[in-house]
Amino acid sequence: MKRKLWITGAQGQLGQSLAKYVDDDRYDILWTDYPEGDITQTEVVQKLFQKHVFDTVINCAAYTAVDRAESEVEKAQAINVDGVQNLVDACQSCGASLIHISTDFVFDGDANTPLAETETPHPQSVYGQTKWAGEQVVLNANISAAVIRTSWLFSEFGHNFVKTMQRLGTEKSEISVVNDQVGTPTYASDLAQVCSQMLPKLKELKGPEIFHFSNRQACSWFDFANVIMEQSRLECRVNPIPSSDYPTPAKRPAYSVLNTQKIEDFLGLQIRPWPEALRECLTHLDP
Ligand SMILES: NC(=O)c1ccc[n+]([C@@H]2O[C@H](COP(=O)([O-])OP(=O)(O)OC[C@H]3O[C@@H](n4cnc5c(N)ncnc54)[C@H](OP(=O)(O)O)[C@@H]3O)[C@@H](O)[C@H]2O)c1
């Protein structure tokens, strides 16, 4: 019999990327986004659970506007914390398992070696704080769950850095990009594949657990921008600047490279470097 799977935030970068990887033959899948699958509405979540009796939920729904969150604290809290609580309560009531996605922005950026799951978060932004609080909701629950922290998502879908660089690269001959924030870009498609590989392994988890996943190869946003221009064959010069020359409402970590050893061991993964994943992503995009 097919297992019942609910994918929330289905129109987001990760949600759309999952379509390629979750197996229709094995799973009976409900794809929802806002507003019909609004995770902040307790009764919406409860009714969907009563109707479908899900075995597993992949929560791709999130408030992801990092800078706007500084002035929309309640909205970010509602989606990234209260919405997660609704999903956890529903999962707990019927023994369903959960894959929840979190972020490298839970860290303060003071580290200088890749961050393991055991490192203590210290978020510096409203977005990071709400995502960390959402993690706590899952980690305190009595369910099988994987909280997968990831970083710098890009894809052919939605809004992301790759698409912004391609647009600027066609409009301008020169741009400036910060070179003092170091992290690891992650192709949403590679993360989607990892989520699909995690599905049958959730039962092996004794309770909720954190995993880190990103592509390989740390870089700065400046390095990332240069490779996007190069691979897109755009003649746009990229100048390195410090973050102090590009002030943003939300503070970002200076260093948020994730140590991915745990998920590599658990799923038997060979993670590819982001420039290789970027090449694949660009085959779906016209600059
Ligand atoms: N993007 C990144 O660089 C990045 C980095 C690290 C971690 N992450 C995490 O990775 C996950 C996936 O990110 P993503 O980039 O795929 O996000 P995304 O593209 O912003 O997708 C999130 C989806 O959730 C939907 N949504 C918003 N409020 C909702 C609600 N109340 N109920 C149901 N759905 C709602 C959004 O709809 P609207 O578009 O209509 O709001 C959107 O379709 C998130 O947990 C995010 O925190 C992202």
> pLDDT (tens digit, 9 = 90+) per residue, 101-139?
999 999 999 999 999 999 999 999 999 999 999 999 999
pLDDT at 255: 98
The rounded Å distance from CA 62 to ligand 1 centre is: 4
The predicted-structure confidence for 137-174, as pLDDT tens digits, reads as follows 999 999 999 999 999 999 999 999 999 999 999 999 99
Would you call 127 a catalytic residue per the annotation? yes
- What is the per-residue pLDDT across 221-264, written as a single tens digit (0 to 9) for each? 999 999 999 999 999 999 999 999 999 999 999 999 999 999 99
Pocket of ligand 1 (CB under 6 A): 8-9, 11-14, 33-34, 37-40, 60-62, 64, 79, 83, 101, 103, 131, 150-153, 158
Residue 95 CA to ligand 1 centre (angstroms)? 25
**Beta pairing, strands 182-183 & 219-220:** antiparallel
Mean pLDDT of 184-198: 98
Q: Would you state the pLDDT for residue 25?
A: 85
Q: What is the pLDDT of residues 73-106, one digit of tens each?
A: 999 999 999 999 999 999 999 999 999 999 999 9
- When pLDDT is cut at 50, 70 and 90, the band that residue 190 belongs to is very high
* DSSP label at residue 206: S
Q: Provide CB contacts within 8 A for 136, sequence distance 6+.
A: none
What is the reported pLDDT for 287? Answer: 62
Distance (Å) from CA 103 to ligand 1 centroid: 11
For residue 127, the CA-to-ligand 1 centroid distance in Å is 12
| Dist. CA 173–CA 91, nearest whole Å | 51
Q: Rounded to two decimals, what is the model's pTM?
A: 0.97
Residue owning the nearest CA to atom 10 of ligand 1: 101
**With left for phi above 0 and alpha for psi between -120 and 50, is residue 266 left, alpha or beta?**
alpha
Residue 103 DSSP code: E
Indicate the average pLDDT of the chain.
96
Q: Distance (Å, rounded) from C-alpha 235 to C-alpha 201?
A: 45
Protein residue whose Cα sits closest to atom 14 of ligand 1: 13
Class of domain 3-160+184-218+256-274 (CATH, top level): alpha beta
pLDDT at 1: 83
Q: Which of 27, 63, 127, 187 is catalytic?
A: 127
Q: What is the pLDDT of residue 9?
A: 98
Residue whose tokens read 């307790």? 42
Angle, CA of 117, 123 and 124, to the nearest 5° = 150
Q: Is the pLDDT of residue 57 over 90?
A: yes
Residue 271 in this model has a pLDDT that exceeds 70: yes
Ligand 1 mutation pick, 80, 153, 252, 256, max ligand atoms within 8 A of CB: 153
